[in-house]
Amino acid sequence: HGPFSRANPALASIFGHTSPDELMQSVDSISQSLCSDKALCDDFELKLKQDGEVSNFELQAHRTDGRRIWLSVSGRVVEPAMDSRGPLIEGLVDDVTDAKLATMQLEHQATIDELTRIPNRYLFLERLEQLVSQAERGGFGLSLLYLDLDHFKEINDAHGHHIGDLVLRQAAERISARIRHSDLVARLGGDEFTILLQNVNSDEDVRRVALEIIGSVGKPY
């Protein structure tokens, strides 16, 4: 929670400063000035308190130009806390932004349907398992809707697969527009979609949502 006591040119460069002196003069509180994700910072601090050291902990921070970066931080407590700013910590910081973004891109490609840009079967099954467990623990309702497009093969046969692809994209957009952000729509494959509705209060609520989706998807394309 305090400033940098010492820093080298590499650290200054990571955060967009021209020199260590400039970095140290501009930062009064490392956690408040540089840490973009408070939850990650809290986890880092907790682990440091419990173990006295942390290795290769990934944090999200931001540079002086506002750009967010990912850091791998290793540190250990050198001196115990002498004031409200906390203990003296020494460590190493590595900018892993490029590697992190590449990993996130691969994860995105593995879980998002390339055609419709909504979750795919893999992500749907993963989220279904999580939501069922949460519903059981929390005692709230969870409903699963299944939808496929009537006569879709005829569309492909009559107009070509490129038109069929456009219909699938628009169908995904129409379904997504009829559900809440907390719900989930996924493409299982072909013309098959699933919708997971969370915190459902009654069968009538499910019926209402289903009818809205059917009405929207059933309009001319």
Task: Show which residues are catalytic.
Answer: 191
Axis-axis angle for helices 203-217, 161-177 (nearest 10): 140
Instruction: Say how far apart CA 151 and CA 194 lie, in whole Å.
Output: 18
CA 138 to chain centre: 23
* Rg over CA atoms, the chain: 25
Instruction: Specify the residue for token string 């990571």.
Output: 14
Segment (H or E) for 134: helix 121-138
How long is the chain? 221
Using alpha carbons only, give the angle 35, 51, 15 rounded to the nearest 5 degrees. Answer: 20
Using alpha carbons only, give the angle 213, 200, 177 rounded to the nearest 5 degrees. Answer: 30
